[in-house]
Amino acid sequence: MSVSEARAALSEILERVIGGEEVTLTRHGVAVAVIVRPDVLKVRRAEGVFEAAASVHDVLEQGRRGPLGSQPTISRKRAEVLVADVRTSRLGS
């Protein structure tokens, strides 16, 4: 539905969205927005967070299974800074 059509049909669009439909708005034939119910948006955002968490989990598992290198990958000074940051953030919670 074009933006100009949407201006004239806002009440109808809202009723369609309440009914579970998604309405895509276009400008010059290009999709610029999708109108969905708030609960649908929350679910989609949560799914994205879970997918990101699964990716992080996979990376951690790969690192856990792999051998440690013989050389450190960060300097001692950098490690101390990171540990201090973690301690500070834990004390601030």
Q: What pLDDT is stored for residue 68 in this prediction?
A: 78
What is the predicted pLDDT for the residue at 93?
Answer: 55
- Kindly report whether the global pTM for this prediction surpasses the value 0.75: no
pLDDT under 50: residue ranges of the chain: none
Whether 29 maps to a domain, the answer reads yes
The answer to whether position 74 is within a domain reads: no
Q: In whole angstroms, what is the distance from residue 89 CA to residue 91 CA?
A: 5
pLDDT at 92: 67
Whether 82 is in a domain gets the answer no
Residue 57 covered by a domain: yes
> How many structural domains are present in the chain?
2
Q: What is the pLDDT of residue 42?
A: 93
What is the Cα 13 distance to its own chain's centre?
Answer: 26
pLDDT of residue 30: 95
The per-residue pLDDT for 9 is 93
Task: List the domain range (segments joined by +) for residue 14.
Answer: 3-35
Residues 31 and 45 placed together within one structural domain of the fold: no
**Inside any domain, residue 28:** yes
Q: Report the alpha-carbon distance of residue 78 to residue 49 in Å, rounded.
A: 29
Residues 31 and 44 reside in one and the same domain: no
